[in-house]
Amino acid sequence: MRTNKLNGIFVPHITPFTREGDIDEDALRTCVRFWLKGEVSGLMPCASNGEGPYLLRDERKKVIETVLDEVNEKVTVIAGTGSMSTKETILFTRDAKDLGVDAVLVVTPFYFRISNREVYEHYKTLLEAVDLPIIIYNAPKFTGFALEPTVIAQLASEYDNMVGVKDSGGNVGTIAETIRLVGDKVSVLAGTADVALSTLMAGGTGAVIAVANVFPKICKDMYTEFKKGNCERAGKLQQQICYINEVLVKKHNQLSALKEGMKIQGLPSGYPRKPVLPLREEEKKDIEDLLKTMR
């Protein structure tokens, strides 16, 4: 399962909802075509920016099925299947496997505080229960738990279907240590836009970044320039990505801001699902100003 590493830019993409809160399948298909046009390496439905924790089981399946159909094997599809309990995580992961995804992204359990021993057992149980490539997802800002590189290394040494880690902690030192420990075995992906290039320079294989929802081409171009050895050009593009990230992810609720950024570009990104609300008018102005500077 580790013969092909996960390389490039992956979009942890939004899920368009109607005003009433239903999944807008036609809108999702239009958005998928936009991301494919941006030449990204893969799509990640039902993860954080896809409002995965707000989706019912059947809704997750509908989103994944729609994305797989529209992608039609053009790029890799990695479904977010993490949940609060091990049992439900296994259930969601088996659903994704049955639908035909290439791999799954599994966030550490959230809500209750857990230990390293418990998170290790969580992933161990999952890796043994489902024969599918699994990417571990470290997202401390959402879960309140920071996954340690030593735990990742232990899992990587024991399970061949543990194929990668997405680190959204934003700490380049921690990411570099993870790469040192497991970079020869699994793919290490940046999970925050402001450390995308730093992760690549440290030996990472790519990035899974929210801003690629709105600017897939800029993100893809940064990766391409780095791979070509054009580090100065890659650095300039990373500067743009950092600025975009400050506005779309850090300044406002990223679920609403990403959808607003896409909407301004004429894409049917829909509404966020409550309790998240659309941006207020003064907040929308920030997004409009950002897009003007990027033209």
Q: From first to last of its 295 residues, what are the pLDDT tens digits of the chain?
A: 444 579 999 999 999 999 999 999 999 999 999 999 999 999 999 999 999 999 999 999 999 999 999 999 999 999 999 999 999 999 999 999 999 999 999 999 999 999 999 999 999 999 999 999 999 999 999 999 999 999 999 999 999 999 999 999 999 999 999 999 999 999 999 999 999 999 999 999 999 999 999 999 999 999 999 999 999 999 999 999 999 999 999 999 999 999 999 999 999 999 999 999 999 999 999 999 999 998 7
Q: For 29-66, b where at least 16 C-beta lie within 10 A, e where not — what string?
A: bbbbebbbebbbbbbbbbbbbbbbbbbeeebbbbbbbb
Q: How many domains does the chain have?
A: 1
Residue 156 falls within a domain, yes or no? Answer: yes
Residue 1 falls within a domain, yes or no? Answer: no
Q: How many residues does the chain have?
A: 295
The predicted model scores a pTM of 0.96
Residue 150 falls within a domain, yes or no? Answer: yes
Residue 2 falls within a domain, yes or no? Answer: no
Residues spanned by the domain of 139: 8-293
Q: Enumerate the active-site residues.
A: 137, 166
Q: Which 3 state secondary structure label does DSSP give 189?
A: strand
Residue 121 falls within a domain, yes or no? Answer: yes
Spatial CB neighbours of 21, under 8 Å, sequence gap ≥ 6: 271, 273, 274
Residue 63 falls within a domain, yes or no? Answer: yes
Smallest CA-to-CA distance from 241 within 292, 294, 285, 280 is with 294
Residue 113 falls within a domain, yes or no? Answer: yes
Spatial CB neighbours of 52, under 8 Å, sequence gap ≥ 6: 46, 60, 80, 82
Domain harbouring 191, CATH code: 3.20.20.70
